[in-house]
Chains A and B, each alone.
Chain A
């Protein structure tokens, strides 16, 4: 039963990543692009954790926490650049 739920969740997150990719390519404004990249990082965390359950190993935990941190910093840096034209003033 867990296997079917895992397959369902993995396919959901994969389709979500495709939606995000579409939004990155066809974005009406530049903030939408930043938002889509942020959501991509969050969905990648979900996929990594699901793959960790699939393989039965906790080794992907470190990768997902790295994704969480760099994704957040990247989003804030993008938004800061849009706001001020500079990141570290």
Chain B
């Protein structure tokens, strides 16, 4: 039971996170276009659903708070109140408060009955006060023309609502009167018949039991789900029947007839989807049906079809729906069933299971490499074909398995809209965030890990990068600053650029600061790029005072570490007064890559195939340039630094014999470097095994892999090697000049 509760609670938390995210998106959209009905509905739905599910778990603070927000949204939705910028601001705060409430509840775990911290309660009260006071202020504004209701407009007829409260309703904190009052706010209560059925002898009357029943005639433009929502919390302690007016029936019939095939599901769900039936009514009927079925189980004569018909009967009996609507629903369902072939298209899968699958595929890749080697050694000719096809299949499985974890990066980028909006408001700056390439796909685990570094970079851009509007006007830039985030794929990597048109980095100040911190000596000569890169050094912040937003110790060095931990790299380009561009390059996935196996000295190395540009014979590559501490080669007229792996890793054969060296040209971003190896051994699929903590400081190595032979090969980190190569080149450039 408690396990189930945990799972349910987890599902609730996830659902809330999704809802709050969509609420935030909707609010951002509303800021641009306050009349956007779809977004308005989205905000309402988010609050409404959180209230509903929160109620199921008994999280009363959440229910109370979201209910208040929902009520205000309802006013706006119905056009009685205009959507104002002020309201959007409050709603943003309400969204955040809801999120904090949920967090607080999650922390409490089992004892969710504990009182909330006074801090939270105060914020909640404050927000609610803002909400209601704002309502008072705006009441004299003429309301907009009423918006089209979401489901069905019912103008001229009367709903019949029957409420029979259970004995324990009062004891459970219900006040039936309050439901009626709330109902009154949705429309016009035409008449009420109050039935009070106390027990015959007044001695048995318990004043704390509830004996109240109401029959209500109600006139409203609201749709059925809205009306049903009024009584949502009474659900357990009250028998509720809501019968729509006749005028609604025709509309239901039309809607049913026009449902597209993909919308046709089970009969109850169809009726819920067009608003003729509320989910609770359906649940009640299904429960009733299940009871019936249990009692009838002995006869075993019920086919699926009769059960289906009986659900309809139950719905009619309990007064949820009228027979004509049910008939049309059955017809539509029948017609669609004949046509439809495709099943539900999406399945939710636990990320852990997916991770396990990918691990297994990794093992499979290693094993199939082992088989290939065995077959080659055994020299069984006719086995080759089989091994080839197995290899092909394994590669396909690997690609597909990895594809499962790919998600568009846009989702996580879009959350920065809010960050930019909030922080720029706080700082009094006008900043627009432009996101392009949001549909570029990336491994979910990578996405999760880059969110924090990204947040930092974006905040930096807002806080330090973009100048204040006055400053921008003074230097002749457009008053509105722009931050551009662009994502695209490039040779097995994803490249994400964050560019701002702000003040840029002051190289002189960085230099001064670095010298003060003892990171560089005054006599060192550094290129523009090298100086810029100093900001990635620990403890270097160019902004002298730490602000609220950034500069609180977590610096660019952490950003760099985080990204390098993902085998990625950061590049930095900045022109003083014109802006800063940060380019982040990340591998698409963390688990399995196509590799290129080479031998150098006593060891074998894997180079990620996507980064291999070409292979040439060392001798044919051209004259060696004069060695300046490093090695250069003239590759078709291009100066290319190269690294001899045997020198880098110091593992030459003890007996040096003549061999032909090969040059593997690898590229990383716009850097290119040559790797000199002894032998080229061909392509293979590689499962990346991370090296232990002990080897963390090792430069140029990304991980290790087990070869089919059982040997271990090191996977080269091309970005670091490229950096080593480039560094040498810069040093020599400087010496040249």
A, B assembled together: no
B-binding residues in A (CB < 8 A) = none
